[in-house]
Amino acid sequence: MPALNFNARAIEIPESTGGGFKPFPPGEYEMMIVKSSTRPTKQGDGSYLELEMHCVSGELTGRRHWERLNLDNPSQKTVKIAQEQLARLCLALGLDQVNDSEELHDRPFMAEIGIDKKEPTKNKIWGYRSIDGAPVSPAKLANQPAPKPAAAPSAPASRPAVRPWG
């Protein structure tokens, strides 16, 4: 086995907040979701969607943040808050309908990050907006008619229509 020869006292270690990093300073950051998973709650009475996101620009590029959305919880108030946050995120990404959390991946957005009121050593996302700066306004979108689906192109008369899915 090779000798390690490591002197821990010779290494400058940054101050830690318990997890190894200080929280993001409050502000707006360009972020991107890179992983997502559904996990059971500690109590086992529900589950949450965990979103791992990375800062993709500026001084903190590469820093990670995890956001948890309690979409399955005995508290309907908790579920409502999580659904509202997910709706704001989807709208900031330009998505109306999401069937799989992976559809949220690899799309940049702006996140307003603040300090969690209950745990001052952790961050919380307070708002989302699109990368082009357009504000997310679910109320405005709710008053607009839903977009009409595009008409399917007709197949040439000489060939039968083929469905791409089989």
Read off the pLDDT band of 1 (50, 70, 90): low
Domain boundaries, given as residue ranges, for the chain: 24-133
Contact 124, 82 (CB under 8 A): no
Q: What is the pLDDT of residue 25?
A: 96
What digits encode the pLDDT tens for the residues 85-123? 999 999 999 999 999 999 999 999 999 999 999 999 999
Tokens coding 69:
């959305």
CATH fold label, 24-133: OB fold (Dihydrolipoamide Acetyltransferase, E2P) (2.40.50)
Contact 54, 34 (CB under 8 A): yes
Q: Is 93 exposed, middle or buried (0-12, 13-18, 19+ CB in 10 A)?
A: buried
What digits encode the pLDDT tens for the residues 66-75? 999 999 999 9
Taken as a whole, the chain contains a residue count of 166
Contact 39, 61 (CB under 8 A): no
pTM above 0.95, yes or no: no
Q: What is the pLDDT of residue 4?
A: 84
Q: What is the pLDDT of residue 46?
A: 96
What is the mean predicted confidence (pLDDT) over 146-152?
43
Tokens coding 163:
């469905």
Read off the pLDDT band of 80 (50, 70, 90): very high
